[in-house]
Chain A
Amino acid sequence: MELNVGLLSPEILLTGIAVFMILLDLITPKRFKNKLFSVISSVAVGVAIILTLSKISPIPQKAFNGFITKEAFTGIIDILVLFSGLFTVLVSHDFIERKKISYIGEFYYTLLFVLVGAMLLAGSSELSTLFVSLEVASISTYILMSLFKGDYRGKEGALKYFITGSVGAALLVYGMAVLYGLTGTTLYGEIAQAAEKLSPLPLLLAAGLIAAGFLFKTGAVPFHGWMPDAYEGAPTPVTLLMGSAVKVAAFAAFIKLFIPIFYHFQAEWEKALGVIAVISMFSGALLALNQRNVKRMLAYSAISHTGIIIATFLSSPALTVFSVVFYLFAYTFMTVAAFGLITILSANGIKGEEIESWKGLYSKNPLLSLSAVAIFMSLAGIPPLVGFWGKFYILLALVKSGEVLLAVSVLIASLISLYFYLKPVVYIFMKEGTGEKFIPGAGEYVATIVSTAAIVIFGLLPEVIAQISIMGLSSFLRSLT
């Protein structure tokens, strides 16, 4: 038996703190709750970041008899998840200050459970671990979405997310059951060995079901119905969390499961995945054109980004891992910054999400409007920003593996999306403003500005992320052999 519990110390720490917070929540008087719990959870997440950083090593390490494998790849994803968790805590402190909410403690420890689930999801190298951690992350997200009192939109979004998400999870379990039936084991390494001898057809069945489960979670096109509703309905900090942490971890788990097991018959499924990718990026971009609500627009743009990431899977495994890690790195900061900005602007209620209410923002708060410009231009992929480099490496990967058609469609989709990303920017610089003032809270202001600064700095120094991604890639390749 090889337990190696120390490898999981960040997750264990967060779980312990969360369980402790359940008890603390029962005895704390209500007026201290928001401050106390946001401090506790941000400190816990900060310590978890340090622990994760200290544990990153290029050599893959196993824990719990190989049920969890942590390479530098997983470490990078964990850091991204934890950073978006930290920013979520900062943003939600101010969000909760403004809203009526009777479940403050519950909000914070459920948030920590989402982070634990997402980190385990990125680390899992066994089917049942994958399923349980996926469900920990998503069930906690359903709870977070419906926690706010008197907020009907959040509950409706939560129900839609719940139904589609659990159908996706159920299909995923079915696919795992088929995979287990074919190979007789649930550990990735052993499955990969057994799968090489099998004929592709039954494996294709398992691959289809598992991919369907993951596509449900990441919101690719045939399974995207929940995305706009859930993104719009959820309280903005929760949208931030599910748009960054859960999605990033789901992509990491998809890579860890898919590349070792199903890559040797890539020719069989690449057409299907390519079609899904192209449809996702175009329908996401086209449907976003006409949205008035910025959150809904960002949901459609997230579908488009999902399509772009999925397109990368058609290149060779090494290029896929590299460019997806790079893109996820960029995407996390862009999502955090965008939804942090919306949280600040929607301080006056739902109205702040409408694009009309952004008019004349520049005269009210120049720093915030400049960062809004950086965020939206980065999402669109304008050169000196980090979003551009993400798209650049994906295009490079696609062209190098001969998928020119896909590369061209990524370009066209980005061009279309430029239109709806420019729209809020134009509104910001319009002269006549509606007179409503707002005072950004410290936490959300810091979160937005810091992640915008990250967008700009990493955009000027893409080598840094490239180095990190190469580290992730090499450790990932080492864990395969």
Chain B
Amino acid sequence: MTPFSLFLLSGLLLAIGLFGIVARRNVISLFFGLELILNSANVLLVGFSKLHGNYYGELFVFFVLAVAAAEAAVGLAIVVAIYRMKRSINTEDFRTLRW
């Protein structure tokens, strides 16, 4: 395992996640993209933790995972609340607030 291969894998995940966020209209798909980005960072952290031989990275991953779960829970709750009022989860329909 080299830093290069690590970067390749995680960078690929990052790019897929970012593309998902930019291109998809469905809020749930946006969440997939978000999780992908966070997990790309996790891959990098775990890999570097192994390369450096210390545990800072792996501990960081625990926190990232927990925060990602909390974020997903809150995000889904907001989406459900919006769906109840608007009957849609397409981002193009969320345009009440505009100039």
Q: Are A184 and B37 in contact (CB-based, < 8 A)?
A: no
In chain B, residues 1-32, which have Cβ atoms closer than 8 Å to a Cβ of chain A?
Answer: 3, 6, 10, 14, 17-18, 21, 27, 30
Q: Name the one of B17, B18, B47, B60 contacting A128, with C-beta atoms under 8 angstroms.
A: B60
With A131-B64, A163-B30, A229-B97 as known contacts, state yes or no: A174 contacts B57, CB within 8 Å: no
Interface contact B44-A232, CB-CB below 8 Å: no
Q: How many residues of A contact B (CB 8 A)?
A: 43
Residue of B nearest to A143 (CB): B74
Cα(A180)–Cα(B17), bound, Å: 21
Determine the distance from Cα of A184 to Cα of B86 in the docked complex, in whole angstroms. Answer: 48
Closest Cβ of chain A: how far from B5's Cβ, in Å? Answer: 13
Instruction: Tell me which residues across on chain B come within 8 A of A176, comparing CB atoms.
Output: 41, 60
Asked if A81 is an interface residue, CB under 8 A from chain B, the answer is no
Smallest Cβ distance from A468 to chain B, in angstroms? Answer: 33
- Given A162-B78, A186-B60, A229-B97, decide whether A177 and B48 contact each other with a Cβ distance below 8 A: yes
Q: How far is the CA of A184 from the CA of B54 in the complex (A)?
A: 8
Task: For A291, give its contact among B56, B59, B82, B99 (CB under 8 Å).
Answer: B99
Known contacts A128-B60, A174-B44, A180-B60; A139/B74 CB under 8 A: yes
Chain B residue with Cβ nearest A152: B85
Contact across chains for B37 and A178 when beta carbons are under 8 A apart:
no
Contact yes or no, A155 B81, CB < 8 A: yes
CA of A146 to CA of B86 in the docked complex: distance in angstroms? 14
Query: Roughly how many angstroms separate A229 CA and B30 CA in the complex, as a whole number?
Result: 18
A359 within 8 Å of B (CB atoms):
no
Cα A228 to Cα B18 in complex, Å, equals: 23
Q: Which residues of B contact A162 (CB under 8 A)?
A: 71, 74-75, 78
Whether A159 contacts B64 by the Cβ 8 Å rule is: no
Chain B, interface size category, equals 35 or more
Inter-chain contact B30/A173, CB cutoff 8 Å: no
Q: For B66, give the chain A residue with the smallest CB separation.
A: A132
Cα–Cα, bound, A131→B62 (Å): 12
A178 to B82, CA, bound (A): 36
A294 close to B (CB within 8 Å):
no
Q: Which of B10, B27, B63, B86 contacts A132 (CB 8 A)?
A: B63
Specify which of B47, B52, B57, B70 lies most central, judged by the most chain A CB atoms within 10 Å of its CB: B57
Residues of B within 8 A of A158 (CB): 78
Secondary structure at the B interface, as helix, strand, loop or mixed, is: helix
Q: Are A155 and B48 in contact (CB under 8 A)?
A: no
Which of A164-172, A311-319, A332-340, A445-453 contacts its partner? Answer: A164-172
- Nearest CB in chain B to that of A134: its residue: B67
Q: Contact between A153 and B78 (Cβ–Cβ < 8 Å)?
A: no
Q: Which chain B positions have C-beta within 8 A of A142?
A: 74-75, 78
Chain A residues near B34: list those with CB within 8 A.
Answer: 163, 166-167, 170
Assembled-state Cα–Cα distance A383/B64 (Å): 46
User: Residue-by-residue, is B68-93 near A (CB-CB < 8 Å gives 1, otherwise 0)?
Assistant: 00110011011101100110000000
Q: How far is the CA of A146 from the CA of B10 in the complex (A)?
A: 33
Is A181 located at the chain interface by the 8 A CB criterion?
yes
CB distance from B80 to the nearest CB of A (A): 10
Q: Is A233 an interface residue (CB 8 A)?
A: yes
Contact, CB under 8 Å: A170 / B37: yes
Assess whether A15 is interfacial by the CB under 8 Å rule: no
Judge if A185 is at the interface, Cβ distance under 8 Å: yes
Contact residue among B18, B21, B63 (Cβ-Cβ distance under 8 Å from A163): B21
| Residues of chain B within 8 A of A152, CB atoms compared | 82, 85-86, 96
Query: A160 on the interface (CB 8 Å rule)?
Result: yes
A430-450 vs B, CB cutoff 8 Å, 1 = contact: the mask equals 000000000000000000000
A243 close to chain B: CB less than 8 A: no
With contact pairs A166-B34, A229-B97 given, residues A185 and B54 touching in the complex (Cβ less than 8 Å): yes
Could you list some 21 contacts between A and B, CB below 8 A? A127-B60, A150-B85, A155-B81, A156-B82, A159-B78, A159-B82, A160-B94, A163-B27, A167-B18, A167-B34, A170-B34, A170-B41, A174-B41, A176-B60, A177-B41, A177-B45, A180-B60, A181-B3, A186-B60, A228-B99, A287-B99
Given known contacts A180-B56, A287-B99, what 20 new A-B pairs fall within 8 Å (CB)?
A: A135-B70, A139-B67, A142-B74, A155-B82, A159-B27, A159-B78, A160-B94, A160-B97, A162-B78, A163-B21, A167-B21, A174-B10, A177-B48, A178-B44, A180-B48, A181-B48, A181-B52, A185-B56, A228-B99, A290-B99
- Chain B positions near chain A (C-beta within 8 angstroms): 3, 6, 10, 14, 17-18, 21, 27, 30, 34, 37-38, 40-42, 44-45, 47-48, 51-52, 54, 56-57, 59-60, 63-64, 67, 70-71, 74-75, 77-79, 81-82, 85-86, 94, 96-97, 99
